[in-house]
Structures are given as structure tokens and as C-alpha cells.
């Protein structure tokens, strides 16, 4: 079994979910008292959010590379960034490492392809929805992306940072997300990517009648498989 290096604290609520899921997958695969070999580098999320808000992606990239190198130097044999947004600098982090980085959008795209879908709605932070890094990765799998309108993007973003990242899960926020997802379905989305690792803490498969792609679950599952077998491939 390879040692998984988790770049977490982005936020810690979803990092805890990663740890639970990865250990669950390993136990299901190997049985008995088996659990995952993991290391966690946990950021103070406030520091990262401040860099995101100010647009200082260069400094954020430097910190992410340092986290990856720290884990590799401590013996990690594969790296997982426990958030969607910070995959903005995934290529830079991977270039600085000699061990594989398991990309969250590849994990999502693999499952979307398995379902035979070609057009999906994307929910996430404004950075993930509005910038190209995530959509371009999906396009490599021949998957096109629909994002919500500007007003809805702000609603999604604010709920993530003001509620979900602070452990608040409100019924009215769930209803807002459901309305936005239904708009995306009406616009032609065949499924919805929950492209923020906090969103699955609020939204579940029961909330809409088209496929949901829980990136936390899919990423953790792919990391577990990679620790036991081999990295993702198309």
C-alpha cells in the first residue's frame, strides 16, 4: 500500500470527510483491520482564503508546492489536494514533485464518462466556475460544462464560504442550490458536478433527479485505488 499525502485544511470540514472516506475504501477493499497509510498537511484556511480574495495566486501556488514537497519528503507516494479550487495550480504542484498528484477533475470526469454523459453543470466557488482550469480539464475528456448565471454563482460562492466552510448547513441554502441545479438541468445539463468539496455536506442525490458527481467521494475513491493499484488513466 502506498502512503497518501493529503493537502488539507481547505477547509478542515471536507478534509475530515476525505480521511473518513479513504479509510473506508481501504477497509472495504482489504478487510480486517486495514486502514490507509496517510499523511496530512493542514493549512490555516483563513490564510489561503485571503490569498484567493486578493488574487495572489502566485503566493498561493508557492504554499501549495511547499505543502506537496513537505509530504513527499516525509514519505508520501502520491498527493491529493483536498479541494477543487486549489487545483488551479495543480500542474505547478505536479511539476515540483516526483510522485503523482491525483487530479480531482480527472476523478470526476472518469465517473461522468462511465455514465456516458457529455454535458454537465458545474457548481463550486466562483474561482472554479468562472476560471478555465477546471473546465479545460473536463474538456480533455470531451465533457462540456454549463455554469450558473452571475447571480447564482454569487449565491453558491457565498454559501460555501459563509456557511458550509463554517459547519453551517441550512435548509434554505439547500433549497437555493436545488433551484440553481434545476436551472442547469433545464439548460441542458445531463448531470451536476458538486465541484466544491464542501457542497456534498449539504447536497445529496435525493435533491435532484439527474446524476450528481460528488467530487469529494470520487477523489477519495480514486486516491484509495491509486494507493493500492495504479494512478488514474483515461
- Indicate which residues carry an active-site annotation: 83, 196
Q: Which of 181, 190, 185, 193 is nearest to 217 (CA)?
A: 193
- Distance, in Å, from the CA atom of 114 to the CA atom of 148, rounded to the nearest integer, reads 24
Three-class HEC string of 177-201: HHHHHHHHHHCCCCEEEECCCCHHH
Report whether 215 contacts 27 (CB < 8 A): no
- For residue 8, which phi and psi values (nearest 5 degrees)? -125, -160
Residue bearing cell 508546492 = 65
Cα–chain center distance at 172: 24
- Distance, in Å, from the CA atom of 210 to the CA atom of 171, rounded to the nearest integer, reads 20
- 101 DSSP assignment: B
Amino acid at each position: 500500500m502506498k502512503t497518501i499525502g493529503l493537502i488539507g485544511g481547505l477547509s478542515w470540514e471536507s478534509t475530515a470527510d476525505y480521511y473518513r472516506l479513504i479509510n473506508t475504501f481501504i477497509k472495504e477493499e482489504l478487510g480486517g483491520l486495514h486502514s490507509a497509510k496517510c499523511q496530512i498537511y493542514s493549512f490555516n484556511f483563513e490564510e489561503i482564503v485571503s490569498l484567493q480574495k486578493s488574487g495572489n495566486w502566485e503566493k498561493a501556488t508557492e504554499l501549495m508546492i511547499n505543502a506537496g514537497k513537505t509530504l513527499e519528503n516525509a514519505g508520501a507516494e502520491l498527493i491529493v489536494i483536498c479541494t477543487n479550487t486549489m487545483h488551479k495550480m495543480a500542474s505547478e504542484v505536479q511539476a515540483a514533485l516526483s510522485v503523482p498528484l491525483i487530479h480531482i477533475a480527472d476523478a470526476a470526469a472518469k465517473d461522468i464518462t462511465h455514465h456516458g454523459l457529455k454535458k454537465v453543470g458545474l457548481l463550486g466557488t466562483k474561482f472554479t466556475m468562472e476560471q478555465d482550469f477546471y473546465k479545460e480539464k473536463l474538456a480533455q475528456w470531451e465533457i462540456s460544462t454549463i455554469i450558473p448565471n452571475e447571480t447564482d454563482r454569487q449565491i453558491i460562492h457565498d454559501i460555501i464560504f459563509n456557511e458550509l466552510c463554517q459547519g453551517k448547513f441550512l435548509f434554505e441554502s439547500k433549497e437555493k442550490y436545488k433551484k440553481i441545479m434545476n436551472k442547469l438541468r433545464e439548460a441542458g445539463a445531463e448531470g451536476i458536478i458538486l465541484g466544491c468539496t464542501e457542497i456534498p455536506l449539504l447536497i445529496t442525490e435525493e435533491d435532484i433527479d439527474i446524476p450528481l458527481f460528488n467530487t469529494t467521494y470520487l477523489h477519495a475513491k480514486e486516491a484509495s485505488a491509486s494507493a493500492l493499484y495504479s494512478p488514474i488513466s483515461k
